[in-house]
Amino acid sequence: MAGVELKSISKCFENGTQALKDFGAVIEDGELVVLVGASGCGKSTLLRLLAGLENVSEGEILIDGRNVNRDTPQQRNVAMVFQNYALYPHMTVRDNIAFPLRMSRIPKQRITTRVGEIADILQLSELMERRPAQLSGGQRQRVAMGRALVRDPSVFLLDEPLSNLDASLRAQIRAEISRIQKRLGTTTLYVTHDQTEAMTLGDRVVVLDYGELQQIGTPEELYQHPQNSFVARFIGSPGMNILPCELIDSGDGEVILHLGGQQISLLLEGRVYQELVPYFGQKLYTGIRPEALSCAPTHGSFALNTKVEAVEFLGYETLLYLSFPGVAQLRLEQPIIARLSGQHYKRNGDMAVFYVEPDALYFFDQAGRNILSAGNSGPAPVVGVLS
């Protein structure tokens, strides 16, 4: 086991594509870190750089404090599970798992023992003489993990290992991966484009966009304190509603929030007020989580008048797609989504009033940065609503 340090990593391919830009992160020994981002954001490239399948253009990769930039994949002692598992089709499960040990010229007796141990951990003992074509998706996935774990790697890399599985199997294997990782304590980097996977699996989550690090933190930090509107939109299912707004100073800590053609008076806490002062009168964005929109008023909440555009009933919850009456949909850039538990009998075109607690509001500048400083970058501690 070993920690991993990525120092100012950049990767530019021969065709000029810049896959990663000045990426830096430290992964602690035994930690499970999930790299998440949209397709093409550079997360798989980062894994391949770490595995030694690609060379970095700039920067340093340190495993257990040692620079491994020039090391071969084997010298790095990393193991990887590929998206399509990459099992050797002509070999049995036993031979697939034993292959890395054979390449290391380990004595046969030890190979047999070690393969047996891994087969027990992954419940593969019954399948050892089968070939990959004779296995189900979940079984193949376990064999791929077995092959990766068999030589006790320093770092374990998983590249979207669940993307070929159906939803129920995915949840099951996800729990299994988490269990095995905790049991073995191997430093693990896990790539996915699915934020649910990222949030449920990762000790910490790294959010990437266009090759740039957006934020690194625990799932709670990412959800509660997104550093920018990209992270706010990406984390959460559905992601945060980001709506254009304007703050007008009324003096004495009171501001008027112009949102969707409506004016809401907010009484801000002094510290928050001071941080927002430079942005008064500017075009800003406010963020509201879909689950922060409620049908029932609570103490201190303010009302938002909306129009229902579409309804998605999911059984345990309902998603309502909303717009502000009289405001063109285009100006909102994206629909407003409200996530309500249970079933709601709203129809397309209905008018609906939703209530939001002021401390559920986030504020982002034009560049998408969370305006409130790190300590305050959660929901703005707004004291109350004046009208």
Partner 1 sequence: MSGKQRIAASAVYLLLVALAFAFLVPVAMMLSGSFKPDDQVLVQAGRLSRLFAAEFSWFNYRDVFARVPFARYLFNSAFISLCVVAGGLLVNSLAAYAFARLHWPGRDRLLLLVVALMIIPLEAIAVPLFYEVTLLGWRDTYWVQIIPFVANAFSIYLFYTFFLGLPRELEEAARIDGAGPWRIFFRIVAPNAKPVFATVAILSFLTQWSALLWPLMVTHSETVRPLPLGMATFYSLPPLQWGDIFAFGVMMVTPVLLIFVLFQRWFVQGVATTGVKG
Sign of CA dihedral 234, 236, 242, 247: negative
- Name which position in 16, 65, 89, 349 contacts partner 1 (CB under 8 A): 89
Q: Considering Cα of 14, then 16, then 19, then 22, what sign does the dihedral take?
A: positive
Q: Using the rule CB under 8 A, is 242 a contact of partner 1? A: no
Q: Order of strands, edge to edge, in the sheet holding 212-217?
A: 78-81, 155-159, 187-192, 32-36, 204-209, 212-217
C-beta of 47 vs 222, nearer to partner 1: 47
- Cα separations in angstroms, 244 against 73, 217, 237, 277, 385: 48, 27, 21, 18, 19
| Interaction of residue 103 with partner 1, rule CB under 8 A | yes
**Structure token pair of residue 356:** 């939001």
Should residue 72 be labelled a site residue for partner 1 when binding is judged by CB under 8 A? yes
237 contacts partner 1 (rule: CB under 8 A): no
| Residue 82 sits in the site that holds partner 1 (CB under 8 A) | yes
For residues 29 and 185, what is the distance between their CA atoms, to the nearest angstrom?
8
Distance between CA atoms of residues 12 and 92, nearest Å: 38
**13 is an interface residue for partner 1 by CB under 8 A:** no
**88 in contact with partner 1 (CB under 8 A):** yes
Calpha distance 19→37 (Å, rounded): 13
84 sits near partner 1 (criterion: CB under 8 A): yes
Binders of partner 1 in range 213-232 (CB under 8 A): none
In the numeric block, the tokens 């703050």 are attached to 247
Among 78, 119, 337, 338, binds partner 1 (CB under 8 A): 78
Instruction: Indicate the residue among 13 and 313 with the shorter CB distance to partner 1.
Output: 13
Least distance (Å) from partner 1 to the CB of residue 65?
21
63 binds partner 1 (CB under 8 A): no
Give yes or no for residue 260 binding partner 1 (CB under 8 A): no
Residue closer to partner 1 by CB (options 73, 300) is 73
**51 touching partner 1, by CB under 8 A:** yes
Closest Cα to residue 11, out of 40, 32, 42?
42
Q: Which of 23, 61, 99, 339 binds partner 1 (CB under 8 A)?
A: 99
- The site that binds partner 1 (CB under 8 A) totals a number of residues, namely 21
Instruction: Sort strands 78-81 and 155-159 into parallel, antiparallel or unpaired.
Output: parallel
CA distance 367 to 211: 17
Closer CB to partner 1, residue 38 or residue 53? 53
Residues 132-171 that bind partner 1 (CB under 8 A): 147
Q: Is residue 2 within the footprint of partner 1 (CB under 8 A)?
A: no
Sign of torsion over alpha carbons 282, 288, 331, 325: negative
123 binds partner 1 (CB under 8 A): no
- Tokens coding 327: 């405001």
Contact between 347 and 308 under an 8 Å Cβ cutoff? The reply is: yes
Kindly state the smallest distance separating residue 104's Cβ from partner 1, in Å: 6
Q: Candidates 49-57, 305-313, 316-324, 369-377: pick the segment binding partner 1 (CB under 8 A).
A: 49-57
Q: Does 108 bind partner 1 (CB under 8 A)?
A: no
Contacts with partner 1, residue ranges (CB under 8 A): 51-53, 72-74, 78-80, 82-84, 86, 88-90, 99-100, 103-104, 147
